[in-house]
Amino acid sequence: MTRARAPAADNSPDRLLWTAGIAAGASLPHWLSLPIWVPGLLCFSIAWRLGGARFGWPLPNMLARIALALLSFVAVLGQYHTINGLEAGTALLIVMVALKFLESRTARDQLVLVIIAYFLLFAGLLVDPGLFMLAYMLGFVWFTTIGLLQLGRPAPLLPNAETAKQAGRLLLQAMPIMLILFVLFPRLPGPLWGVPGADTRGRSGLSDTMSPGDITELGLSEDVAFRVEFHDRPPGPDRLYWRGPVLSVFNGRTWSTDGPGMRPGMVDTLELSGEPIDYRVMLEPHDRRWVFALDMPVKWSEDLDIRMENHYQLVRTRRPIRSRFDYEVTSYPGYRTLEGLNERTREYYLRLPAEGNPQSRAMAQQWRNESSNEREIIAKALSIFRAEQFFYTLTPPPLGANTADDFLFQTREGFCEHYSSAFTILMRAAGIPARVVTGYQGGEINPLGEYYIIYQSNAHAWTEVWLEDEGWVRVDPTAAVAPDRISSGLSGRSLAGEQARRGALQGLPWIRQAILAWDAAQTYWNAWVIGYGPELQRALLEALGISRPHWSKLVALAAGAVLLVSVLLTVYLSWSFRQKRERDRAVALFERFCRTLERARVPPRRTGEGPLDYGNRAATALPMQAGQIQAITRAYLKSRYEPNTGDSEVEELQRLIRGFKPVGTH
């Protein structure tokens, strides 16, 4: 039995260009997440190898290649201190591609590079599982498959248009099997895209510190913080307060958290009223443990390692959120906190530096002396923001050492951080326990998907004060200055630039619709593909009538479905091949040639034996006419399988067969 021959060596510039394009394009999605020397090494290797083929540049010998490989491995290890994980593994793989391309000599080397390119493409979805990456990956998988067909044959390259059609047909034929495996194969807990080491850290508009006055221009990001899908009617925009980090420590300029603190039974300290709100949050990665929810959460997904801290803030206890994180929450907008404050805790929430902000302290003390209760003090503080000339702006002037005094009595310009910080200082100076709460406020509804988009520019800060008979009560001083910021749910940037944006896009409403349509598509992709885990798979299969889908049942079902589709596809392709074969003159001519060889005592063609293997076996049996046999075999393969062949190729095949006379026959 003869073995199939590997494609012959071919270092033609056209083949190397195909290989170079595939290697560079497959690694392109990773370039921004890798150190610059990794794509630099790839480009350098490609240029050197192409220069060797075109201009005869000397290529590195074996010792030089071994030294370069060791140096590259050490560089990757030194960069990441490991070779495990997505970034380190991808960097090492691209380095291997670069060195393999530099030493490529045969078509087999080129095919190895093409196969590695498929792995690099699929790893791109681990870096960025978005729709842009999906579109790029699908397009380049098609391009890579075209290259695979071109480089996998020993003959000259085929016309690209016909090869592209053939590659497209192959991918479409493989799609049913891909869909079956995706839907039926048992899913592991957690998304595949959350593998360790994935650099999916997002940019957050929040921090665990807040220093009003340090930032003189608030560059708010329009990146998405999270999306929310309400199961019933959503609350009004003015009730969309998404609770995040609580800042209780003030050093005279900066507010900060007091560190994590878990206290069981926090939900039990809530007195709830009104109707609950059930919703699902689709949180973007932000490299923190914060989990956002409407004030006030009482129930959440229990299997996702979410706990409530002692400030009623939800957090993920074990690790930061570095991949998309979906969870269910039930909140009550109507609530009272029945948590008691002992003397020590009360003093903690009244604490201010020994010195600083003398005007604010004096004014707060005057309110304390003139008021009969805490509600009057709060009303007087808010009346300042309503009655005086305060302005909501994203470009406030800088503040000095006494941030509250400078803001309240001089600049009077700022955004939510300025108002919440100054108000909280006033409350503490007046003897009312207070703290700053940060999070998000508002959001934009996407009518195409019926869900809310909360942007990073929706980041907000407000104050919570402790009232003896009510517990912690939310007071938002920003609402006193910029009520539209709260009542409309607009982001800070949108509020400041809404008039300009409307004017600029007045005649182009389709732009906003296109943005929302794209976001809806991205959301459904994230929900149904990226987030396709055990729960969603179980719900889908149960909807299809498959109850209690155990993993062994799913494996058997997937194997059976793949086998059935493979049989149907084989039958269809065989039928198509026979239909074409009946009309194919080249097939009839080659069969006549095979009968001629049989009369020359060449064993008949075996079932499943390809023309090339049969021609090699016949050439071995008739060595004196091996050249003629191989020429006829090549002519048949060209006329039968290559695109854009016509009567001239068939006529050439017929001429060669007519001129073939086995030795000893007449």
Active-site annotation, residues? 416, 460, 476
Residue 562 token pair: 């793949």
CA–CA dist 157, 7 (Å, integer): 13
CA–CA dist 583, 334 (Å, integer): 78
Contact status, residue 102 vs residue 23, Cβ threshold 8 Å: no
CA–CA dist 118, 141 (Å, integer): 7
CA–CA dist 103, 49 (Å, integer): 8
Annotate 519-558 with b (16+ C-beta within 10 A) or e (fewer): bbebbeebbebbbbeeeebbeebeeeeeeebeeeebeebb
CA–CA dist 615, 8 (Å, integer): 17
Give the angle subtended at the CA of 596 by the CAs of 591 and 601, to the nearest 5°: 120
* DSSP single-letter state for residue 7: P
Give the angle subtended at the CA of 615 by the CAs of 613 and 617, to the nearest 5°: 70
Contact status, residue 144 vs residue 164, Cβ threshold 8 Å: no
CA–CA dist 138, 239 (Å, integer): 43
Q: What is the dihedral of CA 239, 243, 248, 251, to 10 degrees?
A: -90
Contact status, residue 50 vs residue 17, Cβ threshold 8 Å: yes
Contact status, residue 260 vs residue 315, Cβ threshold 8 Å: yes
* Phi–psi pair at 222, nearest 5 degrees: -90, 15
CA–CA dist 642, 644 (Å, integer): 7
CA–CA dist 406, 399 (Å, integer): 6
Helices (runs of H) and strands (runs of E) counted in the chain = 22, 21
487 bridge partner residues: none
CA–CA dist 130, 518 (Å, integer): 11
CA–CA dist 234, 278 (Å, integer): 9
108, 233, 578, 635, 645 from 584: Cα distances, Å? 32, 66, 10, 14, 12
CA–CA dist 531, 187 (Å, integer): 11
